[in-house]
Chain A
Amino acid sequence: NAGVIQTPRHKVTGKGQEATLWCEPISGHSAVFWYRQTIVQGLEFLTYFRNQAPIDDSGMPKERFSAQMPNQSHSTLKIQSTQPQDSAVYLCASSRTSGSAETLYFGSGTRLTVL
């Protein structure tokens, strides 16, 4: 079991460009979560899917961020027109179910730098 796989590990974009981040959850896990981590804000919830359906996107900045889960083996987080304040480590996690007592298994993250 390779764990949660996130690609790329590092991404550098220019201001105004688009960034797409990829996540492959652990096989058999039905819930996938996206978090953003910065020094100032810590770990911020963005969105999550259960059985590929979007359940809660309350943490997503409304205008430029979108997430999809087209199949059970991967999820993407897309940021349009990236801004310097989007620079952060984006973490994907999966869990066996979406129950809050379930362990979240995190990937190593994608470090996004917007110049």
Chain B
Amino acid sequence: SQWGEENLQALSIQEGEDVTMNCSYKTYTTVVHWYRQDSGRGPALIILIRSNEREKRSGRLRATLDTSSQSSSLSITAAQCEDTAVYFCATDGGSAGNKLTFGIGTRVLVRP
């Protein structure tokens, strides 16, 4: 899972498989963002889940949020090669107007 002093995690899967990555955060958050970053590009938002939601879906993406354990997960169903990227979670530290703090990221490689 992401956060703290952990190194960047790496996952390698076959095309068509499902993949889940986890994010643990240290302080209360009103929202969890999930971004993906392609090589040479800036991160781009793929899904956002608010603290009053337990699950959010968008196409092949599913995000979950467990505020009691301060953790979130992102799942990709039937991964495609184009899903290869680094995925970050980000939280706001509990203030709706606060800046986002990003996790260390999970590198996902989808093999053909």
B-binding residues in A (CB < 8 A): 4, 33, 35, 39, 42-43, 45, 48, 56, 91, 93, 98-101, 103-109
A-binding residues in B (CB < 8 A): 8, 30-31, 33, 35, 40-45, 48, 50, 88, 92, 95-105
Please pick, from B8, B42, B44, B45, the residue contacting A42 in the complex, using a CB distance under 8 A.
B8
Question: Known: A42-B8, A106-B43, A109-B42. Contact between A100 and B98, CB under 8 A?
Answer: yes
Question: Known: A43-B88, A45-B99. Contact between A103 and B42, CB under 8 A?
Answer: no
Interface pairs (5), CB distance under 8 Å: A35-B102, A104-B35, A104-B45, A104-B100, A107-B42
Residue of A nearest to B44 (CB): A106
- Sort A-B residue pairs by CB-CB distance and give the 10 closest, nearest first: A106-B42, A100-B92, A43-B102, A42-B104, A103-B45, A101-B31, A45-B99, A106-B43, A91-B42, A100-B96
Tally of A-B residue pairs with Cβ under 8 A? 60
CB distance from B19 to the nearest CB of A (A): 20
Please pick, from B40, B42, B104, the residue contacting A93 in the complex, using a CB distance under 8 A.
B42
Most buried by B among A33, A35, A42: A42
A48 to B97, CA, bound (A): 11
Q: Are B44 and A99 in contact (CB under 8 A)?
A: no
Q: Are B95 and A100 in contact (CB under 8 A)?
A: yes
A43 to B101, CA, bound (A): 8
Q: Are A43 and B43 in contact (CB under 8 A)?
A: yes
Q: Are B8 and A100 in contact (CB under 8 A)?
A: no
Question: Known: A39-B8, A100-B92. Contact between A45 and B45, CB under 8 A?
Answer: no
Please pick, from A4, A100, A105, the residue contacting B100 in the complex, using a CB distance under 8 A.
A100
Chain B hits for A108, CB < 8 A: 40-42
A108 to B48, CA, bound (A): 21
Please pick, from B41, B48, B88, B104, the residue contacting A103 in the complex, using a CB distance under 8 A.
B48
Q: Are B48 and A4 in contact (CB under 8 A)?
A: no
A37 to B45, CA, bound (A): 17
Chain B hits for A4, CB < 8 A: 42
